[in-house]
Amino acid sequence: MILDAILAYLHFVSIFALFGFLTAEAILIRRALDAGTIRLLGRVDIFYFGAAIAVLVSGFLRLVLGVKGADFYLQSWPIYAKIGLFVVVAVISVAPTLVLMAMGDAAARRRARPLISEVKTSDHDMSSDAVSSPRV
C-alpha cells in the first residue's frame, strides 16, 4: 500500500515537473534569443526530457508494481489515450529540440570565433564611445 502511494506521488510530481519545464521553455522562447537564453533553453530542455522519462518510468512502475495491477489499467481505454498523446507530444517536440541544439551549436561557434559583422559592430560602438566622451 505504501509502495503504491509512493509510486503515485512520484508519478504526479514528475507530471507537474514536466509541465513546469514546458512552461519555463514557453516563457524563455518569448524573450530575445541571445546566446545566454539559448544555453538556458538547452538546459531546461534537458530537464524537460528528464521529467518525461520520469513520467514514463514512474507510470510503468505503477502499472507493474501498483496495487491495482496491470490488468486494471490495460482493460480501459484511457491508458491507451494517455500513452498515445504522450507519444504524439514526444514526436512533436523532437523538431524544436533539434532546432534548439543547432542554435546552441551556432552560438558556441560564434563565441569561439566571432563573426566579422560582430567585430565591425563592436569596433564601431567603441569608436563612437571614444568620440562622444573625451579622455582626460
DSSP 38-59: HHHHHHHHHHHHHHHHHHHHHH
Residue 64: half-sphere exposure toward Cβ, Cα within 13 Å: 6
Q: Is residue 61 part of a domain?
A: yes
Each residue of 41-96: pLDDT tens digit? 989 999 999 999 999 999 999 999 988 888 888 898 988 999 999 999 999 988 88
Q: Is residue 44 part of a domain?
A: yes
Say whether pLDDT at 24 is over 70.
yes
Range of the domain at 11: 2-129
Q: Is residue 9 part of a domain?
A: yes
Closest of 26, 32, 8 to residue 93, by C-alpha? 26
Q: Is residue 106 part of a domain?
A: yes
Other C-beta atoms lying within 10 Å of the C-beta of residue 20: 14
Q: Is residue 134 part of a domain?
A: no
- Dist CA 74 CA 135 (whole Å): 77
Q: Is 71 exposed, middle or buried (0-12, 13-18, 19+ CB in 10 A)?
A: exposed
Q: Is residue 31 part of a domain?
A: yes
Q: Is residue 136 part of a domain?
A: no
Specify the amino acid at residue 65: L
The pLDDT of residue 51 is 96
Each residue of 104-114: pLDDT tens digit? 888 777 765 55
Q: Is residue 135 part of a domain?
A: no
How far is Cα of residue 114 from the mean position of the Cα atoms in its chain?
Answer: 27
Number of domains in the chain: 1
pTM score? 0.73
